[in-house]
Each structure stands twice: as C-alpha cells, then as structure tokens.
C-alpha cells in the first residue's frame, strides 16, 4: 500500500481526493498548510500531492524543501495554467502537474504512472490507444500493422511511451534524445520529428502538445 501525503487547503477538494484514493487502496495523510506538511512529511511517503497556493506559503517552497532531503515524487495540483508557473514546478523537480478542475480518474492515472516510474518498474512493451511499441523487437504497430520509423522518430516515441501521462518539457526531451543518439538535436529538429511521427501514426491524438512546455503521451480524449 503506497502512502501519499496530500497538501491541499480546500477542504472539499481534499475530502474528495482522499476518499477516492483510499478506495483505490492508497493510504492518505492530508494537511492544509506548509507548516503541517513539513511536520508530517517523512521518506516513508511514496508520493506528495501538492497544492501551489497554501495559506502560509507556496507549493514551490515545500517542493524545494522536500527535494533537498530526498527524491520523493511530487505532483502539483494547481489552478495556475500559465506556462511559467508549470515550467517552474517541473524545473524544480516536480514529476507532473494536474490543473484544477480535474476528473479524479485523470489524477489516479497520473499517480499510477508516477509511482511506476519511481519504483523502477521496467517494461518492454507499451500501449497507448491503437499504438503499441515492443522495445525488444524495436517494433511499432498501429492498429496491429507495423510502421517504419527513423531512429530519431522511434526514440522520440519510446521516450513518450515510457513516460505516458507525464508532461515532458522540450528541454528534457532534447537532453534524452541527445544522450541516446550521441548527436546534437536542436529545437527545430524536435518539432519536425514530432510532426512526422504524428503523420506516420495517422495523425494520432495520443501525442498531446502542451503549449509552451512540451509534449505528453496520453490516451486520446484524456486531459487534466
């Protein structure tokens, strides 16, 4: 059973999240302030759900405080949907963000994805909608039919599939592509690669553009 620390000062939202996640088997500890969060926090928590706006400070402060002590995953819950606010959180080490209002099923999906990554679960096959990728065979199927990708397109899709449900900033994708291929990949190349990848995947909606930030692999129709 994974322990989750919920830091949210809206009692209605906090209650709804806590009840829903406890039904899924999570153990939830909830608080409504920065001070209480610091008192409650320990490395025993598998994840922190963190509101940005708190009565005695900001989620950014608590994120910095946590990351200075351990690498516990953090998902921001925020009404702020401006690019600078979201990228600030991601750059500080947050694993994902969910904008309010959100459907609880979306939050549950993001939590599961973050915990899988944190626990180091290795997968060789990935599926999103009608797209499947077999890492051992280096094979990509669309509606069961194999499609041909360039090495860069394949690596791009693999990165997105491995992080399904997670918003990946363009800068992080560029670092991963550069590290894996040993060649410099610039911002324009990334844009073109994503465009061609979408086209080869029949203009899939599973690769979502997060305006001003980057990309996210998600089931078509999902959203925060």
pLDDT digits (tens, 9 = 90+) for 31-70: 999 999 999 999 999 999 999 999 999 999 999 999 999 9
Pairing of strands 96-99, 74-78: parallel
Whether 81 contacts 99, CB under 8 Å: yes
How far apart are alpha carbons 13 and 24 in whole angstroms? 17
pLDDT for residue 224 is more than 60: no
pLDDT tens-digit readout, 76-116: 998 876 778 888 888 888 888 888 888 898 899 889 888 87
What does the pLDDT read at residue 89? 83
Question: Does 183 score more than 80 pLDDT?
Answer: no
| Residue 181 neighbours by CB distance under 10 Å | 12
User: For residue 211, is pLDDT > 60?
Assistant: yes
Question: In terms of DSSP H, where are the helices of the chain?
Answer: 11-23, 34-40, 59-67, 83-91, 104-118, 151-162, 170-181, 187-200
* Interval 127-136: pLDDT, tens: 999 999 998 8
The predicted structure's pLDDT at residue 134: 92
Provide the pLDDT for residue 102: 86
CA dihedral 66, 209, 10, 104 (to 10 degrees): -100
- Reading the block at residue 14, the tokens are 């906090």
Is the model more confident about 25 or about 223? 25
Q: Which two tokens stand for residue 173?
A: 């994708």
- pLDDT tens per residue, range 136-168: 888 999 999 999 999 899 999 999 998 888 889
């Amino acid at each position: 059973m994974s322990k989750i620390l919920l830091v949210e000062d809206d009692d209605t939202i906090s209650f709804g999240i806590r009840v829903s996640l406890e039904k899924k088997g999570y153990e939830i500890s909830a608080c409504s302030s920065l001070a209480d969060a610091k008192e409650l926090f320990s490395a025993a928590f598998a994840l922190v759900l963190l509101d940005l706006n708190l009565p005695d400070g900001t989620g950014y402060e608590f994120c910095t405080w946590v990351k200075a002590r351990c690498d516990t995953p953090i998902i921001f819950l925020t009404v702020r949907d401006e690019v600078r606010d979201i990228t600030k959180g991601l750059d500080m080490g947050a694993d994902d963000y969910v904008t309010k209002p959100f459907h609880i099923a979306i939050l549950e999906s993001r939590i599961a994805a973050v915990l899988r990554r944190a626990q180091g679960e290795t997968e060789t096959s990935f599926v999103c909608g009608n797209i499947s990728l077999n890492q051992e065979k280096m094979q990509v199927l669309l509606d069961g039919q194999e499609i041909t990708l360039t090495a860069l397109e394949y690596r791009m899709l693999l990165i997105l599939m491995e992080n399904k449900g997670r918003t990946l900033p363009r800068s992080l994708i560029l670092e991963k592509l550069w590290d894996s291929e040993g060649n410099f990949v610039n911002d324009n190349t990334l844009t073109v690669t994503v465009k061609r990848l979408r086209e080869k995947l029949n203009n899939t909606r599973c690769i979502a553009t997060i305006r001003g930030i980057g990309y996210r692999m998600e089931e078509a129709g999902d959203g925060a």
